[in-house]
Amino acid sequence: MDSLNHQKYIEDLCLKEGFTKVGFAKTEELDKEAIELKEWLEAGYGADMKWMNNSYEKRINSSQINPRIRSVISLAYLYDTPVPHPNEKNIPYISRYAWGKRDYHKVIKKKLKSIVAELEINFPVNYFRYYVDDGPVMDKVWAVRAGLGWMGKNTTVINPDFGSFFFIANIFTDLEFSYAEPIEDKCKSCTVCLTECPTGAIFEEYKLDANKCISYQTIENRCETLPDEINLKGWVFGCDICQDVCPFNQNNFFTTDDNFFPRETIVNKTYDDFLSLSEEQFNSLFEGTPVRRAKYKGFIRNLRKAKSEQTNLP
């Protein structure tokens, strides 16, 4: 199978598994991104996510993962649905990627495992290694280089057709392909994500301070209390504001995967409904979903703060 034929075969295989877009990038050392990552971490914008410092060399140079690697197959998987968040003061918000039935890591890894199993049959001497937001790789950088989209001012990857509500998966391989041209940055003069971010976390175009980000605070912060100056605006796990306001997320491209549609047992629960949960009930309700990452104490902490802020609204 020649390079063009095996590229088409791999693209079709991935689309068959439900991925929306497939791109191919040539691997090389990420010199520019390495400097930017180092500066971002040294400035403290990564907050307490110390794991971002782990495997730094692998993040910027994929040959440190395996010297055989020549290419990245980057994949987009939609998760947005036509279901809106309830616009009621007594109902808290959970980010769209987390309000469904299953953790996206598990859903997508199962698909990648199937894809790679077939690739290993057809390309038995070649190397394949996949990641879903869970390895020492710069997922968004490779997605941009593979032509899935451009890096938006809100630091999400944006596709001109289906926006930014998609998961990114990457398969590293020693196969070589015809590589994509970067997509033009279409943010241009738009700054709506900067102006609408309620905490100023997007402090500059293409730059985010996790210390001020509602998503970081409600998911990764392990402290008993959250900073007083961070108003959660009703969000108790994650935050979708900078994506909700993006013009490229108004095109009504939605997933058909039932795993990511909101569950009735979650989406209409009030603050008091959630606050009444025991730890055992919390674990059962959110079993197999990303919300478990916040842990029971963190989730209750978020609820109490968000409810207090909503109660004090005029």
The question of whether 134 is a catalytic residue gets the answer: no
Catalytic residue among 48, 133, 174, 273: 133
How many angstroms separate the CA atoms of 222 and 110, rounded?
30
Query: What are the backbone angles phi and psi of residue 294, rounded to the nearest 5°?
Result: -70, -20
Q: Are strands 128-131 and 166-173 parallel, antiparallel or unpaired?
A: antiparallel
Q: Tell me if residue 204 falls in helix, strand or coil.
A: strand
Asked if 285 and 265 touch (Cβ cutoff 8 Å), the reply is: yes
Return the structure tokens found at 139.
Answer: 């997922």
Which class for 39: exposed (0-12), middle (13-18), buried (19 or more C-beta within 10 A)? Answer: exposed
The two tokens of residue 244 are 């909700």
Residue (of 221, 165, 198, 240) closest to 50 by Cα position: 221
Neighbour-count burial for 187-223, b at 16+ CB within 10 Å, e otherwise: beebeebbeebebebbeeeebbbbbbbbbbbbbbbee
What distance in Å separates the CA atoms of residue 181 and residue 13, rounded to the nearest whole number? 22
Three-state secondary structure string covering 26-68: ECCCCHHHHHHHHHHHHCCCCCCCHHHHCCHHHHHCHHHCCCC
Task: Determine contact, residues 159/22, Cβ cutoff 8 Å.
Answer: no
Distance of alpha carbon 273 from alpha carbon 226, whole angstroms:
21
- Cβ atoms of 174 and 69 closer than 8 Å: yes
| Residues labelled as active-site residues | 133
